[in-house]
Amino acid sequence: MVTMSFLSARHDHLVLGQTGPLPFFPRVKIPQKARAAHTYVVGITGQGKSKLLEHTLFQDITQGRGCGLLDPHSDLASDTLRYLASWHDKSYMDKPYLHDPKNLERIIYFDPSRTDYILPFNVLDTQFGTYETAQNIVEAFRRTWPQSLAEAPQFSNIALAALITLIENKQTLVDMHRLLTDDDFREELLAHVSNAEVVSFFHDRYDRWGREAPLMRESTLNKVAAFTFNPQLRLILGSKENALDFRRIMDEGKVLIVDLGRCDPETRRLLGSLIVTGLELAALSRKDIARVEDRRPFHFYLDEFQDFFSLIAHTCFLGFILRSTFYVLHSGDFQL
């Protein structure tokens, strides 16, 4: 890989390239303030879109800006890490970039297919409201299985009530199957639920479906099976800890690199949707920082946008873009 010299200097804008090969040719650049309007890179396959993203992501990381990447193919994530590992600007660096412990501490790398380590991702362990968190996960489910869940009228009620129950009892997403099928376990958890409507739903509706119960809850159970049958996903989502605190990642200017390229399609869509909706919730929570200029920008790169959003979920994502601009989460959506 050829390192471009103009990417090494520190500046307050994003360099896209130069108009010619010699140093005196003008650079094409975007001011940081302009990036709040979001950026789309659109083009046919093989024309350098991912390589452009690699260079812009490299600049964000090395300039100390908070940023994230969701890569469904692995190539962009791998190339970016190789780029960082080999980069050593001797004009102001006494060691390669990734040899500095401070730089390594900023980077959070998440590859769910790896078996040599597990990054715990307990989506129910958040600092946000119980109802907001539950709704966020239901939305992620809908983005993962848009067609089948559009035809399941009971799904939202069951999933929402189950998630609120699990959150209030400090359980994990993996415990949802047991909650919906084990009466004794469900009653044990409901005894500690403060939301009377949730308790009423299970006692007055769910428990009285009788012979129809298996059919009514199947749309939820067969989706839960996606992470209970998959041993790696069960370990990741079934952990009591949560290493992906999106609000902290944004506020502290960390770097999140998510590599989903070696996952099966269903796992890729599920984890991708949980991460994107989690970032949305974290961005909206920044309203507790009164002054917009005090909210540290976070640049989120989403490669292969269409892989994570169906036509049904597309409207929801447009709303995410509009709201996240105000809360200083900048996103780049690519290869439409």
For the stretch 177-232, pLDDT in tens is 999 999 999 999 999 999 999 999 999 999 998 888 888 888 899 999 888 899 99
For residue 194, how many C-alpha atoms fall within 13 Å in the half-sphere facing its CB?
Answer: 5
Helices (H) and strands (E) in the chain, counts: 14, 8
Q: State the pLDDT at residue 11.
A: 64
Total domains present in the chain:
2
- Please give the Cα distance from 135 to 186 (Å, whole number): 20
Residue type at 121 in one-letter notation: F
**Region 221-249 average pLDDT:** 92
Domain boundary among 237, 254, 283: 237
Inform me whether the pLDDT recorded for 2 exceeds 60. no
Average pLDDT score over the chain: 85
Q: State the pLDDT at residue 161.
A: 97
Helices 311-326 and 265-284 cross at an angle (nearest 10°) of 30
42-100 residue pLDDT tens:
778 778 888 888 999 999 999 999 999 999 999 999 999 999 999 888 777 888 899 99
**Region 21-42 average pLDDT:** 81
Q: State the pLDDT at residue 62.
A: 93
The CATH number for 285's domain is 3.40.50.300
Q: State the pLDDT at residue 206.
A: 93
- Please give the Cα distance from 189 to 24 (Å, whole number): 68
Q: Shortest CA distance to 309 belongs to which of 163, 188, 104, 139? A: 139
Same domain, 269 and 216: no
Q: Are 328 and 293 in contact (CB under 8 A)?
A: no
- Please give the Cα distance from 282 to 278 (Å, whole number): 6
Q: Shortest CA distance to 108 belongs to which of 53, 56, 67? A: 67
Same domain, 156 and 218: yes
262-308 residue pLDDT tens:
999 999 999 999 998 898 889 888 888 888 888 888 899 988 776 66
Same domain, 108 and 252: yes
Domain boundary among 204, 237, 270: 237
In this structure, is residue 9 part of a structural domain? no
**Region 11-31 average pLDDT:** 84
Q: Are 305 and 331 in contact (CB under 8 A)?
A: no
Structural domain for 86, as ranges: 32-119+243-334
Q: Where are the alpha helices (DSSP H) in 191-310?
A: 196-204, 213-228, 231-237, 246-251, 265-284
- Please give the Cα distance from 54 to 62 (Å, whole number): 12
Q: Which residue has the higher pLDDT, 324 or 92?
A: 92
Same domain, 85 and 171: no
Same domain, 292 and 143: no
Q: State the pLDDT at residue 307.
A: 61
